[in-house]
Amino acid sequence: MPVLNPPDPWLFSAQAANGTGSARDTRHALNAAYLTYFASGNSAIFNLEASHNSTGWMVVATYTATGGNFTGTAQIDGYFPYVRANATSVYSAAGGSAQLWVNYQPIV
């Protein structure tokens, strides 16, 4: 029996500025996923986006990650062939800046 390694679960790993992450191919997954997110330092707002062909994107949900430890989790229901994260606001303050972490784990 082959050993199946799951793809890298991080949509963002220490994202320090507004921007869009790379598309993640989730065509192999079922119609559910787990999302966990947090920001170090200050807070950040991001969109979870989905696409049927990895060119046209729609916002599935918007989340706010606050500074400090683990912020939140969500169960995503729906079949999305491609997903990505889009950091719309990463807040900074004097003496430091926020870093956004978003983990997306599809159910396979």
Residue spans of the domains in the chain: they are: 10-106
CA distances from 32 to 36, 37, 43, 94, 104 (A): 14, 17, 27, 39, 10
More confident residue, 36 or 7: 36
CATH 2.60.120 fits 10-106, yes or no: yes
Residue 78 one-letter amino acid? G
Output the CA torsion 9→56→91→26 (10° steps): -10
What are the start-end ranges of the H helices in 7-92?
none
Predicted confidence (pLDDT) per residue in 34-76, tens digit: 999 988 878 889 999 999 999 999 999 999 988 776 678 999 9
pLDDT band at 96 (very low <50, low <70, confident <90, very high): low
Share of the chain above pLDDT 70, in %: 88
By the 8 A CB rule, do 22 and 83 touch? no
More confident residue, 5 or 8: 8
More confident residue, 98 or 103: 103
Q: 31: helix, coil or strand? A: coil
By the 8 A CB rule, do 13 and 39 touch? no
Share of the chain above pLDDT 90, in %: 47
